[in-house]
Amino acid sequence: MLNPGHNGGDASNPGVISRQVPAGFGQSKGCDTTGTQYGYSEHAFNWDVSRRVRTILQSRGVTVIMTRPSDDGIGPCVDERARIGNKAGVAGVVSIHADGAPSSGHGFHASENSRRPDGADVAAASHRLTVAVHDALLAGSGMTTSTYLGSNGYYPRSDLAGLNLATVPATFLEIGNMRNDGDAAIQTSPAGRQRIAAAVADGVLRWLAR
């Protein structure tokens, strides 16, 4: 499953996306957020890259589902996104985002859950998925690993509902800083987004042993 973060209708519906929903480990958080709004919107970047990844994976015989059907809707809420990924038959979940950090920082990072609630097997598979996509992004996206967050492009987290609530292997990608000129040049270019998508798809295919 591909989970393109946020949605184009979120910004105009603050009452909907601020509604509190379960986020795992006893936490609650807002249904969704608008994502980074800086020139090229993050929700549009996430959607475009996810569609490109889907096309590549489908060409290799992989069945792909998405958490949202378009870039002009609202949500779905983060807990609903997790429920979609937990459906029977889903091998793994890749959440696709971009960051909005201080402009001096650049690069991508990948997150896996820092405390899995559902056993060592899923945790190990999530780690393998995270490493596979991380290595593919480093080799093929045109970006470096993050200079401002995490270590060597890895940033484990326990505050993301999509990771906390997942019962299947899951990883969460922040593919560059939209406020950094170098990263933004890649993100706003169709060729740059295609390069990112090809790297993500390559990592997924390696993880699936396709």
- Residues annotated as catalytic are 174
Q: Do the beta carbons of residue 200 and residue 133 sit within 8 Å?
A: yes
d(CA 82, CA 138): 27
For residue 197, give the H/E element and its range: helix 190-208
| Residue type (1 letter), 154 | Y
Inter-axis angle of helices 190-208 and 42-59, nearest 10: 50
**CA-based end-to-end distance of the chain:** 16
